Amino acid sequence: MKFLKNIWLVIVVLLSSCVNDDFARGDFLNRPPRGRILTGPPILSIGEFVSVVPVSQSSHFIFPSSHRFQKIIETGDALTEGGMLPARNDFTGFVPINDSSSLGYLSISSEASPGGVTVLDIILNADSKLWEVTASSAIDFSGVGGTKNNCSGTVTPWNTIISCEERIQLVDNNADGYNDFGWAVEIDPVTKKVIDKRWALGNFAHENITIHSNLRTAYQGADSNPGYLYKFVADNERDLSSGKLFVYFGSKAGVGSWIQLNNTTIEERNTTLDQSAAVGATIFNGIEDVEIGPDGMIYFAVKGEGQIYRFQDSDPITGVDVIMETYVGNMDYTITHVGGKTTVPWGVGNDNLAFDDDGNLWVLQDGGENYIWVVEKEHSQDNPKVKLFGIAPLGSEPTGITFTPDYKHLFISIQDPDTTNNSSEQIDAGGNSVKFNTHISLVMARNENLGSKLEL
């Protein structure tokens, strides 16, 4: 008996030494890693996929086979409250109701002239796993003198929409003293009404804006050349009607600081760009999206410079010191995809940005091949980790990405697709035939989280 016990002891020791690492990784016999309970198939996040092959645009929307899309609405579709969805879909902002990931509002900006914003009431059907539009209406901007070229924007922490006017027009048709266009406009998606144009944020070609969790600080940039980077600190939480406006001065690869501008009177608010030039603010060639990362740093895309910068603000409210660096872009990256690897240039046109729950940065390209990049959390310029999620259909650019709070679904638009794309069709998650020959807004998710039918 003692001999048998010794034999078993030797076997256990040998097995432990051979498979200990496998048990830790969860590889041996398909068992889960330590500390995890096996309850079913692994749950994969939306940012887990194999890159598509980098190719030129075609009539199809190219994306990984692990994901699906569902058409939400396209230009010309009727709205329940009258009218139709206008052209040039851009910011596609999901506003959750009570932090829900299955019930909320979808705000779609129209980068046209005149511009517009359409708000949809949407719900995720738990049985079909498809999104349904229960109401839709166009926002009335007549009370603020109209709107123009509504580009990107943001969903504020207090669940309003900010739509950004990307064009300045130095006229005052409604005689309120302010330039009519070139402002950030705040909208209540519940009442479907404009709260006001946020004059204190300054007058310039607004692309988008991001709001800090302190509910007072906002970062934004001018989508022009010369373009400038701005910080705004509101006097009160959740109220962007008054506050201090700063412009960035300093290095793009080192230290810099915030210089305060005058923005109290109407004249001061109308002359943001002139004031920025007068103080010698740092010039960028078209600032697009600005986002705050999970690491607390602020990331912003500069389309004409083909790169995304990031910086650390010494204090979002009282700080004036900044340290800036290039995060991604302005070089070639090797994409690992099915069948091999391909090295491709980042190119110009990095535009809309969004972070997923894993800390990956999604980057939508306006120009070049109009790619949808995903920059992994561990990325650095010395150790690049860049993936390619999608390629927009011929003639178009991808715009307006936002996520549901659980990060299972992303909302995105396709702007300016070629009308000749009507010769081919794709089947969405609801089994509907979709042609990418007009402006369209979609929801995307991993296959297991959207619909039940396979795409063709």
Residue 40's pLDDT is 61
Residue-level pLDDT at 6: 44
Binning pLDDT at 50, 70 and 90, where does residue 24 land? very low
Element at 353 (helix H, strand E): strand 350-355
pLDDT digits (tens, 9 = 90+) for 104-158: 999 999 999 999 999 999 999 999 999 999 999 999 999 999 999 999 999 999 9
Nearest by Cα to 256 from 316, 325, 327, 322: 322
pLDDT tens sequence across 170-200:
999 999 999 999 999 999 999 999 999 999 9
In this prediction, residue 39 has a pLDDT band, given cuts at 50, 70 and 90, of low
* pLDDT over threshold 50, residue 360: yes
Rounded Cα distance between 338 and 287, Å, is 34
pLDDT computed for residue 43 by the predictor: 87
The mean of the pLDDT values for the chain is 92
Q: What is the pLDDT of residues 202-230, one digit of tens each?
A: 999 999 999 999 999 999 999 999 999 99
In terms of DSSP bridges, do strands 332-337 and 321-329 run parallel, antiparallel, or are they unpaired?
unpaired
Band of the pLDDT at 26, cuts 50, 70, 90?
A: very low
List the single range of 10-24, 41-55, 185-199, 408-422 with lowest mean pLDDT: 10-24
252, pLDDT greater than 50: yes
Whether 30 has a pLDDT exceeding 80, the answer reads no
Lowest-confidence segment of 42-46, 61-65, 139-143, 165-169 by average pLDDT: 42-46
- The answer on pLDDT for 8 being more than 90 is no
**Taking 80 as the threshold, does the pLDDT of residue 282 lie above it?**
yes
CB atoms within 10 A of CB 138: 18
372-412, pLDDT tens digit by residue?
A: 999 999 999 999 999 999 999 999 999 999 999 999 999 99
Cis peptide, bond prior to residue 345, ω within 30 of zero: no
Query: Is pLDDT of 17 > 50?
Result: no
Provide the pLDDT for residue 452: 84
Residue percentage of the chain with pLDDT more than 70: 90
pLDDT class of 450 with cuts at 50, 70, 90: very high
- Domains in the chain with CATH codes: 43-449 (2.120.10.30)
What's the confidence (pLDDT) of residue 37?
A: 42
Nearest CA to 399 out of 199, 158, 208, 176 is that of 208
The string over 110-127, giving b where at least 16 C-beta atoms fall within 10 Å of a residue's C-beta and e elsewhere, is bbbeebbbbbbbbebeee
pLDDT value at 237 more than 80 = yes
In this predicted structure, what is the pLDDT of residue 213? Answer: 98
